[in-house]
Structure 1
Amino acid sequence: MKKYILGLSVLFAVVVMAFAACSKSSSGSNPEPAPPATPPAASVSVEIKNFAFSASSVSIKKGGTVTWTNADSTPHTVTDNAGSFDSNSMATSATYSRKFETAGTYTYHCNFHSSMTGTVVVSN
């Protein structure tokens, strides 16, 4: 009878260990879900500083506004590559705002400094 109980105990232990091993998931089999994408904002601010637009790419909702502020010591412009908007020369501390009514991607630059470029992505 002792052999029977001992054998049953060993069998039970093996079954429990096998079940526990099978129920563990490897880290690669259940990837973490991606964090939700940040929805486009209704309004965004872009700082012009150190001869760059910061942030150089922004996303807004259709009907949203982007406001650029010149925090540099020299004048800059915010000029759409396709010609749909232009801030003209912005002195230090000047701001320029543009409301975007049509979805799409707008690329822009500074007329005085060709290396300065940026993008506004407008979604529905």
Structure 2
Amino acid sequence: MKKYFLGISLIIAIVVITFAACSKSGSDSPEPQKPDNPGNTAGGDATVEIKNFAFSPATVTIKAGKSVTWTNADSAPHTATDDGGAFDSGSLATSATYKHAFTTAGTYTYHCTFHSNMVNAKVVVTN
């Protein structure tokens, strides 16, 4: 009976130590804050990730004179192509990036020319 309680005590001690170690990790670092516009974290240029056949975030807002950088994090090639012809990344292979500076205020709706479901993404440019 003593061996049984010793075994149970050992298991409980391992669980407690493991739990304490897991809850400690990262506790010295503050929780990351989610920005209101995750594609524009610095109030300047914006980033858009192409992943899972979607633009993320689907809408970014920047000031005139700033840029948007698209990064293809998918396994397939994609494009970021403005519906009105203002910009076109061309084919972006996996890990490739494309950067475009927007000088004129307005709303630029864009899509991927390869994938018909990747539409209605937007760059909103303000003065």
The question of a shared fold, defined as TM-score above 0.5 by the shorter chain, is answered with yes
Identity among equivalent positions (%) equals 63
Which runs of no fewer than 5 residues in structure 1 stay unpaired?
1-36
Paired letter, 1:72: D
Which runs of no fewer than 5 residues in structure 2 stay unpaired?
1-35
Q: Tell me the residue number matched to 1:52.
A: 54
Q: Tell me the residue number matched to 1:3.
A: none
Q: How many residues align?
A: 87
With normalisation by structure 1, the TM-score equals: 0.67
Q: Tell me the residue number matched to 1:85.
A: 87
How far does residue 84 in structure 1 lie from its aligned partner after superposition? 1.2
Q: Tell me the residue number matched to 2:126.
A: 123
Root-mean-square deviation (CA, aligned residues, Å) is: 1.5
Distance 1:65 1:42 in 2: 8
User: Where does 1:1-124 land on structure 2 (aligned, <5 Å)?
Assistant: 41-117=43-119, 118-124=121-127
Following TM superposition, where does structure 1 have runs of at least 4 consecutive aligned residues deviating by more than 6 angstroms?
Answer: none
Which is greater in Rg? 1
With normalisation by structure 2, the TM-score equals: 0.66
Paired letter, 2:88: D
How far does residue 65 in structure 1 lie from its aligned partner after superposition? 0.4
